Amino acid sequence: MNEKKGIMLWLSKRKGETVMMGSRSHGLMVQDTVTELDLAMKAMAKGDQVNAMKCIERLIMQEAEADKIEDKLCEDASGGELSVQEREDLIYFIRKMDSIANWAKEGAIHIQLLVETKALVPDYIWIEMGKMASELITAVKHLVKTTENMETSPTETLGNIDAVYDQEKIIDGLYFSCTKQVHLSPMDPRAVMLARELIFAMEMAADTCKACADTIAIILSARRI
């Protein structure tokens, strides 16, 4: 049996059990971390540092929960029903999905540092960075949908994969425009460095979304062979 197809059949057989439910829970938890990052930046744009820090606190807790789900999913995927290659493919996808939450946390830490060091970032830059986070939420939503209908509707899954690719391109454009604005701004070097790291974290999260979508696309393609 084709190894990629074996993954699909295994997931199908275990629908309603730990892996399928866990995959969806994991994806939604990752989505929540990105949402909190977006809310934190919106709060910073309004000068509401207190609310921004609350968003970051929630994000950190959600990222920890995502890690727990990741560990459980990888443990379940290590069962005897899959070949070594199948197991590697599935675990790769799970860990890549979790990396999105890790990058969201990385971005949140840099917001925290901007607040704690009292580094000033103009409102218009917060707004521009917030656009990246909003587009990232959309990318993650489409990615989560690929895991929900991968078995029942391959055509819809491919549509969501394409949507993830489109979002990654949009975020790439925002990455360059935000970086340019940061360097042209009157911010001090410390603020420039931290803002750039925040922007980079979101760019990496978007790239990771694409890597996850690539994995699903490969599985679907192999299934048709």
**Residue 8's pLDDT band (cuts 50, 70, 90):** low
**Per-residue model confidence (pLDDT) at position 16:** 36
Give the residue from 198, 173, 195 showing the smallest Cα distance to 184: 195
Reported as a single tens digit per residue, the pLDDT across 81-134 is: 666 666 777 788 889 999 999 999 999 999 999 999 999 999 999 999 999 999
Most confident of 2-11, 63-72, 144-153, 169-178: 169-178
**What CATH number should be reported for the domain holding residue 1?**
1.20.58.220
Measured between alpha carbons, how far is residue 87 from residues 8, 11, 74, 184 in Å? 12, 12, 9, 47
**Per-residue model confidence (pLDDT) at position 12:** 47
Res 19 pLDDT > 60: no
Reported as a single tens digit per residue, the pLDDT across 132-157 is: 999 999 999 999 998 877 767 788 98
- Tokens 């910073």 -> residue: 44
Print the SS3 string covering the chain. Answer: CCHHHHHHHHHHHCCCCHHHHHHHHHHHHHHHHHHHHHHHHHHHHCCCHHHHHHHHHHHHHHHHHHHHHHHHHHHHHCCCCCCHHHHHHHHHHHHHHHHHHHHHHHHHHHHHHHHHCCCCCCHHHHHHHHHHHHHHHHHHHHHHHHHHCCCCCHHHHHHHHHHHHHHHHHHHHHHHHHHHHHHHCCCCHHHHHHHHHHHHHHHHHHHHHHHHHHHHHHHHHHHCC
For the segment 15-39, the average pLDDT, to the nearest whole number, is 80
Q: 60 is in which domain, residue-wise? A: 1-223
What is the spatial distance between Cα 147 and Cα 151, in angstroms, rounded to a whole number? 8
Average pLDDT, the chain: 87
Spatial contact of 40 and 198, defined as CB atoms under 8 Å apart: no
Number of domains in the chain: 1
Res 178 pLDDT > 90: yes
**Per-residue model confidence (pLDDT) at position 166:** 97
* 205-209-212 Cα angle (round to 5): 135
